[in-house]
Structure formats: structure tokens, C-alpha cells
A and B are shown apart, each in its own frame.
Chain A
Amino acid sequence: MATSVTGQDVATQPSVEDAQERHAAPRGRLRTSAPMLAFLGRRLLSSAIVLLGATFIVYMVLALALDPLEDLRLSTNPNKEAMIESRIRQLDLDTPAPIRWAKWLGGIATCVIGRCDLGESVTGASVISLLGTAIPSTLQLVGAATFLAIGLGIVVGIASALRQYTGFDYGVTFMSFLLYSLPSFWVAVLLKLWGAIGFNDFLRNPVMSLPTIVGLSVIAGLLWQAVVGGPWRRRGITFLVSGVVTGVVLAAVSATRWLLDPRLGPIAIAILGVGAAFAVTALAAGLRNRRALYSSLTVVALGVALYYPLQSLFYYATAAMIIGLALAAIASGLLVGWLFGGPDRGQSMRAAAITAVIVGALTFVDRVMSVWKIYSESSRIAGRPIATIGAQTPGLSGSFWVETLDTFTHLVLPTTALILISFASYTRYSRASLLEVMNQDYIRTARAKGLPERVVTVRHAFRNALIPLATIVPLDIAYLFGGAIITERIFAWSGMGSLFLHSLASQDANPVMGYFIVVGTSLVLANIIVDFIYAALDPRIRVNA
């Protein structure tokens, strides 16, 4: 069977490997060998059995819990009897539930030949078509939130682990506990009724008072000095610099009423881009690596130079074109890094590509911002741009950019709610796993042989700290398909979660089963993937069939 995959095993059970297999193993990672295929086969078989059993349990509980005839029984329609009769025939209610389950399974089995039959809802819509509309809309909502939460959670967790036992670390720990304990429906309702409405009211006259600006600057300063840490002198300087910068930016935003008509423009993009180039190089290659720094800066210069030509191209924008441009940005970053050459081209290429993506994203955001004024002043929006319900403004028509902005304003609240709830666990995970790794002997070795702390942290510790995370991320992606039941309900998002809740409330078993088969299958597959990722990433774990 599979080696059980928990964080503990990495530390305590490196001996689960098969001696014979280790002997035969070449240096390559995942080898397609006979034992591997046998393992895959057994794993798939046992997963199929588990899934089969789970569908049976759910089907039986549903048959027990739901009464599909309730609404008809209560109706006053004169031909009530006939309607009940027809629904019994439609849903095959005279057959005992286990046999109905077997028939339902037969419908799924037809998926093998390419036409699935997951039954019909009470209203006669086919479950497949219901799922077909629900899945994309859920993925749009939950996908962005999950990836943002993973990214943010890892960054905060790593920072907190590197500053273990400081005020920042305790603060992050407390915050994550708090977020852990927040009921998601409460947060979502709060964001919707308090956050969004408050922000929309604020946008009517976006001027911040002096005390607000000073207060926010002090908070920003305190936050930055806690993140940077170090001796008191350094903390003081960080506090002053970051506080003053925040204050100046906020004052400028307030004085120019920037929020009413936000733009970045080439100058701001250049400044932010240079900052990003330095930050990315410092993390990915170290500032000593001049080639990486220069290639990142070259990419920024290229991006700024292309700013005006791109604006005219953006006029004809489509989604495919944006994706193409993003890929082109990565490719040009890689090319620039490669052209700079040097002994370690990979580092320059990586740094330049990441910088290129950042600059590209800034340009994209700038273009989206440019339609903000038109958007928020349009009759459909009427000056209240942050939407609280649905996935798009009904009846709004406009260019690609207006529609993109419309999607963003609808996504922002539910995404924030989801991030707030899920990001705490990623913070805890990444913090714990980095701390675990930092206490390993090979980290001491790396330090002892004189590597700079950046290389120790990024190359030796960070990569290994990601291994346990790599095993929970696929599961979370699988849960994506289940949607966010509560968040979708509150923000009236018509995805998988709403489909489930709606069907359950209207005593409709087949769509619920459809929901479950999607979620269950993706979960089971994700579990198998996790086993393989683990075996591929951690050489101490072997799949022994």
C-alpha cells in the first residue's frame, strides 16, 4: 500500500523505502517502473472502491433525508394526484433506494463511452448541464482566492518563521488563530454589509482626514519595523522611512482624489518596476549577482518603453491576447536573462522572467484602472463600484476592459472573504515546516560552509519546507470544485455551492449526487496525486507496491 503521507513521516520514517528498489533506482526521480505501475493500479482500484462506497452512503442518506414529493403534497393544485404520480415516475421513486443507486451508477458508467447520464433534477434539467454551468463559475471564484491565499499564506508564514519568537511572530500567530476561529458566514456578511457599503460611501468623497493619514502611517511603520526586525536603530529607521512614505502616498492619493480616477502611468510603473527588479533579484539571485540585476532592470526598461505601443494594442484586447502577452513577457524575460549570459544563466533568466511578469501585470492593472471612471459613473453602477451580489452587473455592456473591471469588482469581496478564512492554515503550515527544516543538520552544514544566509534560506530551507505544503495544495484544489458553499450563498454566486444548497433545500437528490461525484472524484484523484508528488519530491519516501 501507499506509505502514509503525513508531515511526521518525513522526519521520523526515512526507512520506509524498499531496499531492493533503492538498489535498482537510477538517479531520475519518478521512474515508470513495473512496481510503480502496480502501485498506481492498486491505488486506483482501492480509490474506486472507496468512492463507490461513499456514493452509496450519500445516496442512502439522501434518500432518507429528502422527500421529493413534499412540495406537491402541500400544493392545492386540483390535479395534485396526477402530478405526484408523474414525479414518482420521473424520479423512479417506487424502486427501493439501493436499486435506484445501482441504476444511477449505471448512468455514470456510460461516461466511459462518452455520454454521461447523471439523472435529472426535479424540474427536469439534466444534472450534467447544471454542473456544466456551475463548475466554471465556481472555479473563477474559488480559484483566484485559493491561489492568492496560498501565496500570501506562504509569504507570511515564512516571514513569521524567520522572525521566530519576535513580536511579529506572536502577532501573526495570534492573527492566524483569530482567523481560524472566525465563522465564514459572519465574515462574509460583515464584508458585504459593512465593508463594501462603507467603502462605496467613502468613494463618494475620497478624502482622508489628517488624523487618519497619520494613524495609517504609524500602523504601516510599526508593521514594517516588525517585519524587518533587527537592532533598535535599524527598526527606528525602518519605522520612520516606511511611515513617511506611506503618509506621503496617502496624502497624495487623498489630495488628488486618485481613487476616483486611478492611473499608474509609465512613471509609476517605472518606479514600481525598478523596486520589483531589486526585490526579485535580491530574493532569487542576490544583489551581488550583477548580471541578474541588470537583466531585471533591462526588462523593466523594455516594459516601460513598450507602455505606449501597448496602449494602442490594448484597444483590440481579448482574453486570449492578454494570455499571449503574459507568455510573451515571460519569454522575453527569459531571453534577456539568457543574453546577459554569465556562469549562471538560470538565475538571471529566472529573475528577469519574474520581473517581466510583474511589470506586465502593472501595465495590465493600469489599463484596467483607466476605465474605472467610465465604469463607476455609468448608469448601472451609479458611483457604487464594489458589488455585493452576483458575478456581473446585469445589462452592463462595454469594452473588454469594462467587463474585466466589472468581473474584478464582483470578485473582490467573496475573494477577500475566502482568503481571510483559508490563509491562516497556510501560514501555520508554512511556518511550522520552515521551522522544522531550519533545525535540520544540513542547514547547519550549509551555514558552516559559508553560504550567505539568503542562499541557505531560499535554496536549502525554503524548497524543502514546501514539500509538506505540496501535499495539502492538491487536496485544496480538489476542494475547489466543491466551491465555497457559504460564501457563494451570501454573495449570490451561482456556482457549485449554490447548486448543492439549492438542490438540498428543494429536496432534489440527483443534483446533490452530481455535486458529490465531482467533489469526491477530484478529492480521490488529488489524494493519489499527493502520494506521487511526495514520492517525487522527497527521496526518503518510496512508493512500495
Chain B
Amino acid sequence: MTLPNPNPSTAGTVAPDEIDEIEIGNSIENAIELKEVEGLSQGRIVLRRFLRHRGAMTAAFVLIAVVLLVTTSIGWGPIPGWWRWSPTEFDDVVNPGGSPTLSFEGGLTIGPHPFGQDNLGRDVFARVMRGTQQSLIVMVIVGLVATSIGIVMGAVSGFLRGRIDNVLMRFTDMIITIPVIMIGAILGRLVATQGATAVMLGLALSLVTWTSMARLVRAEFLSLREREFVDAARVAGASNSRIMFKHMLPNAVGVIIVNTTLLMASAILLETALSYLGFGIRAPNVSLGTLIAEYQTAFATRPWLFWWPGLFIVLIALCVNFIGDGLRDAFDPRQRRIPSKRSMDRAAERAARRQAAAASATATTEASGA
């Protein structure tokens, strides 16, 4: 009968005439889904599901906009910036107290210092952009490095099993036992003595955040290694590393991508928290966390100093979380869209027509046979 949770890649084998009357509603849903994924590869299906996820797409656009703004406004490395001020430049205080020139009275006016100025006359917009750059660097590095460590650890222990698995997993357990914020603070302190840059901090945090990835990849590899294609590859003479990274890894990519996004969202929160506490990025370098720590005392007199960095942290973390959620839905084979009433009706009509056609066809064959 119809599968309750059709796996899109195999569900194409469910013939329409196998539809059970009792599960008619269920099967119409399946039929709609089948029609949608007809002739598409797994990757295309996932991509399509993701593109349809409204929350995730909005989040992706916002995140891209933020990254573009951050990269181009004050310039980043070789990229020139179009913004007038640099994060360290002092200017005369424009508005009283340095309050933001951004206003909505009489249309949107941006003014010279849209996010305001601090007590020294520095442009808050430029500083927030600079801080966001640092936080993004840490986030991306943690995303790349921690994921790579986790994949290698998980893949090796899941594929080879036995003693190596035991040793690696006990080591993972050891790292898990240490609270992330604690070891992060210690490592941040260690890095800080050598003059912390965002890259160094990102690498240090990667050393403690790979554990959940390793566990997930290991679980995935434990089940994948029992599949036939692994045997096939081995019979064909592939080496262990080729089987692991060419044959099995692409099959675990869903879990990995989803977990990477969630890891990145937590990485930006971890980095800003450590910088806030003084164990991450330190002055003269700025991150969103140091900005908040620096400006919190001025909250009563200059609240804008405090609002903007926080808003950017929330914005980035929220976007990454939403993208992760969209990816999870897209990769989940059990996930189904609820078809609208209209498409349900239409599909029911189609099924009825087909049934009528089939009935008349049998009637004619019976008639011609008789």
C-alpha cells in the first residue's frame, strides 16, 4: 500500500492504481508530492524544498544583505569602503550627546551618523560594522574548522569502529564534559596573551565545539557503512579513505550541513559572550561583544550605543538559525508540505477522472470480449 512517509527518491515506484480507498486523503497528498518531484534528483528536491521555505529564504536574503553591508561599507581587506568614517576616526559631535541622525520624520533621513556617535565622537555605524566583521570571521572559521574536525573524528570512528572508535569517542566525551563557555574562556585567555585576533579566537573555539558534529557523523557513518554501496566500493578496490570521503560523506551531507549552521549560530553567541566577558577579542580590536561591554555603562545617557551591536548579533544569529531550520526541513525525507485545499481538490478530481477512465476502459474491453 502507500507508504505513510514516502521517501521522494523511491516513492516513484508507488503505482497510482495501488491507492487504497481508505487512505484516499493520504494518498492524494502523496500523489501531489509525487507529481512535484517527478524526474528530479535528490539534490534538486532538497534545493527546491529549501527555496520554498519562506522563513529560510527571508533569512538568507537578510543575511546576504548584512554581509554585503558589512563588507562594502567600511571596506574589508582589499575591498574599498564607501562609508565616510572609519571605526577609529574622531569627529565633532553632530547631534546633542551624539544621538543618531537616522530619523523617520519627514521621510527617511540618514545623516552623517545614522547610528549615532559615542562620547569620543566616533561613528557608531563604522564601529558596529567593524565589530560585525570580526564576529562573522569567528563564526565562519568555527563553522569550517570545527565541522572539519568533527567530520574527520566522526567518520574515522564510525567507519573503523573497534578500538579506534573507543579511544576517539572517550576523547570526545572528555571534551564534552568540559562546559563550552568555561574552556572557551580559558582558551580565549590563552589566545589573548598572544594578542588575540579574530582568526586565532575562531581557531581556539573550533577546538572545543566540534564534539556534537563528531557524534552525529559517527552515528551516520555507523549506519551507512552497512549499506551495499560501501561493499561495492570496497570490492571495486577503493581505499578506506576513498570510501569514507568519496562514497559515504556525500550521503551524510544533510546532517552535516544542518548541524554546521546551528553550530555557526551558537558560535557567534559564544564569541560575543566571551568578548563581552573580556576573554575573547580585546581592545583596540572590536567585536560586537566588546562594543556592548564598552558601552553598557553609558546605557542611561546613550542607549543607541547599546542597541545597535545587540541588534546585529540577534539579526545574524536569527538568520542563521532560520536557514538551519529551513535546511533541516529540506533534507528531512519525512518532511511533507501540507498541500492547499485547492490542490487537494484538483488532485481528487484527477484521480476520479482516471478511475472513471479506467472503469470505462475495462467496460469496453469486457464489452469487446463478450
User: Can you list, as one digit per residue, whether each of B292-306 has a CB less than 8 Å from chain A (1) or not (0)?
Assistant: 110010011001001
**Does A153 lie at the interface of the complex (its beta carbon under 8 Å from any beta carbon of B)?**
no
Query: Which residues of chain A are near B185, meaning CB under 8 Å?
Result: 485, 500-501, 504
Q: Is the CB of A61 within 8 A of B322?
A: no
Q: Which residues 492-515 of A sit at the B interface, judged by CB distance below 8 A?
A: 500-501, 504-505, 512, 515
**Does A65 lie at the interface of the complex (its beta carbon under 8 Å from any beta carbon of B)?**
yes
**Does A62 lie at the interface of the complex (its beta carbon under 8 Å from any beta carbon of B)?**
yes
Q: Is the CB of A505 within 8 A of B178?
A: no
**Does A529 lie at the interface of the complex (its beta carbon under 8 Å from any beta carbon of B)?**
no
Q: Is the CB of A58 within 8 A of B183?
A: yes
**Does A520 lie at the interface of the complex (its beta carbon under 8 Å from any beta carbon of B)?**
yes
Query: Which residues of chain A are near B338, meaning CB under 8 Å?
Result: 165
Q: Is the CB of B187 within 8 A of A65?
A: yes
Q: Is the CB of B321 within 8 A of A177?
A: yes
Q: Which residues 512-532 of A sit at the B interface, judged by CB distance below 8 A?
A: 512, 515-516, 519-520, 523-524
B residues contacting the other copy or chain, number (CB 8 A): 43
**Does B175 lie at the interface of the complex (its beta carbon under 8 Å from any beta carbon of A)?**
yes
Query: Which residues of chain B are near A66, meaning CB under 8 Å?
Result: 189
Chain B at the A interface: mostly helix, strand, loop or mixed? helix
Cα distance A66–B189 in the bound complex, in angstroms: 8
Q: Is the CB of A482 within 8 A of B314?
A: no
Q: Is the CB of A180 within 8 A of B190?
A: no
Q: Is the CB of A193 within 8 A of B300?
A: yes
Q: Is the CB of A54 within 8 A of B310?
A: no
Query: Which residues of chain B are near A455, meaning CB under 8 Å?
Result: none
Q: How far is the CB of B29 from chain A (nearest CB, A)?
A: 14
Q: Is the CB of B276 within 8 A of A486?
A: yes
Cα distance A194–B310 in the bound complex, in angstroms: 14
Q: Is the CB of B179 within 8 A of A479?
A: yes
Query: Which residues of chain A are near B303, meaning CB under 8 Å?
Result: 194
Q: Which residues 97-147 of B sit at the A interface, judged by CB distance below 8 A?
A: none
Q: Is the CB of A4 within 8 A of B219?
A: yes
List 5 A-B pairs, minimum CB-CB distance, nearest first: A181-B317, A65-B190, A181-B318, A186-B310, A53-B174
Binding site for B on A (CB under 8 A): 4, 6, 46, 49-51, 53-54, 57-58, 61-62, 64-67, 165, 177-178, 180-186, 189-190, 193-194, 197, 479, 482, 485-486, 489, 500-501, 504-505, 512, 515-516, 519-520, 523-524
Identity of the chain A residue whose Cβ is nearest the Cβ of B298 in the assembled complex = A193
Cα distance A500–B318 in the bound complex, in angstroms: 29
Cα distance A189–B182 in the bound complex, in angstroms: 21
Query: Which residues of chain B are near A523, meaning CB under 8 Å?
Result: 177
Cα distance A185–B193 in the bound complex, in angstroms: 24
Identity of the chain A residue whose Cβ is nearest the Cβ of B292 in the assembled complex = A186
**Does B11 lie at the interface of the complex (its beta carbon under 8 Å from any beta carbon of A)?**
no
Q: Is the CB of A50 within 8 A of B310?
A: no
Query: Which residues of chain B are near A186, meaning CB under 8 Å?
Result: 292, 310, 313-314
Which of B60-68, B235-243, B265-273, B356-364 participates in binding chain A?
A: B265-273
Known: A165-B338, A193-B299, A489-B277. A50 touches B182 (CB 8 A): no
**Does B170 lie at the interface of the complex (its beta carbon under 8 Å from any beta carbon of A)?**
yes
Q: Which residues 142-186 of B sit at the A interface, judged by CB distance below 8 A?
A: 170-171, 173-175, 177-179, 181-183, 185-186
Query: Which residues of chain B are near A194, meaning CB under 8 Å?
Result: 299, 303
Cα distance A519–B177 in the bound complex, in angstroms: 8
Query: Which residues of chain B are near A520, meaning CB under 8 Å?
Result: 177-178
**Does B278 lie at the interface of the complex (its beta carbon under 8 Å from any beta carbon of A)?**
yes
**Does B289 lie at the interface of the complex (its beta carbon under 8 Å from any beta carbon of A)?**
yes
Which of B269, B279, B299, B317 is close to A504, meaning CB atoms less than 8 Å apart? Answer: B279
Cα distance A193–B298 in the bound complex, in angstroms: 10
Cα distance A183–B273 in the bound complex, in angstroms: 7
Q: Is the CB of B306 within 8 A of A189?
A: yes
Q: Is the CB of B273 within 8 A of A57?
A: no
Q: Is the CB of B190 within 8 A of A64?
A: yes
Q: How far is the CB of A183 from chain B (nearest CB, A)?
A: 5
Cα distance A4–B157 in the bound complex, in angstroms: 15
Query: Which residues of chain A are near B179, meaning CB under 8 Å?
Result: 479, 482, 519
Which of A183, A479, A482, A524 is close to B269, meaning CB atoms less than 8 Å apart? Answer: A183
Q: How far is the CB of A170 from chain B (nearest CB, A)?
A: 9
Which of B193, B273, B300 is close to A486, meaning CB atoms less than 8 Å apart? Answer: B273
Query: Which residues of chain A are near B269, meaning CB under 8 Å?
Result: 181, 183-184
Identity of the chain A residue whose Cβ is nearest the Cβ of B314 in the assembled complex = A181
User: Can you list, as one digit per residue, whether each of B257-283 has a CB less than 8 Å from chain A (1) or not (0)?
Assistant: 000000001000100110011110000
Cα distance A375–B18 in the bound complex, in angstroms: 75
Cα distance A182–B265 in the bound complex, in angstroms: 10
Known: A185-B273, A186-B292. A54 touches B177 (CB 8 A): yes
Identity of the chain B residue whose Cβ is nearest the Cβ of A523 in the assembled complex = B177
Cα distance A275–B47 in the bound complex, in angstroms: 51
Q: Is the CB of A512 within 8 A of B186?
A: yes
Identity of the chain A residue whose Cβ is nearest the Cβ of B276 in the assembled complex = A185
List, sorted by A's number, 29 A–B pairs whose CB atoms are closer than 8 Å: A6-B219, A54-B178, A57-B174, A57-B178, A61-B183, A61-B186, A61-B190, A65-B190, A165-B338, A177-B318, A177-B322, A180-B321, A183-B272, A183-B292, A183-B313, A184-B269, A185-B272, A185-B292, A185-B293, A190-B310, A194-B299, A482-B179, A485-B185, A489-B277, A501-B277, A504-B189, A516-B178, A519-B179, A519-B182
Which of A4, A180, A515 is close to B182, meaning CB atoms less than 8 Å apart? Answer: A515
Q: Is the CB of B186 within 8 A of A185?
A: no
Q: Is the CB of B170 within 8 A of A46?
A: yes
Q: Which residues 188-222 of B sit at the A interface, judged by CB distance below 8 A?
A: 189-190, 193, 219
Cα distance A537–B317 in the bound complex, in angstroms: 36
Cα distance A538–B148 in the bound complex, in angstroms: 35
Q: Is the CB of A62 within 8 A of B186?
A: yes
Q: How far is the CB of A9 from chain B (nearest CB, A)?
A: 10
Given A65-B186, A185-B289, A197-B300, 20 further pairs, Cβ under 8 A: A4-B219, A46-B170, A49-B170, A50-B177, A53-B170, A177-B318, A177-B321, A177-B322, A181-B317, A183-B276, A183-B314, A186-B292, A189-B292, A193-B300, A485-B181, A485-B185, A504-B186, A505-B278, A516-B178, A519-B182
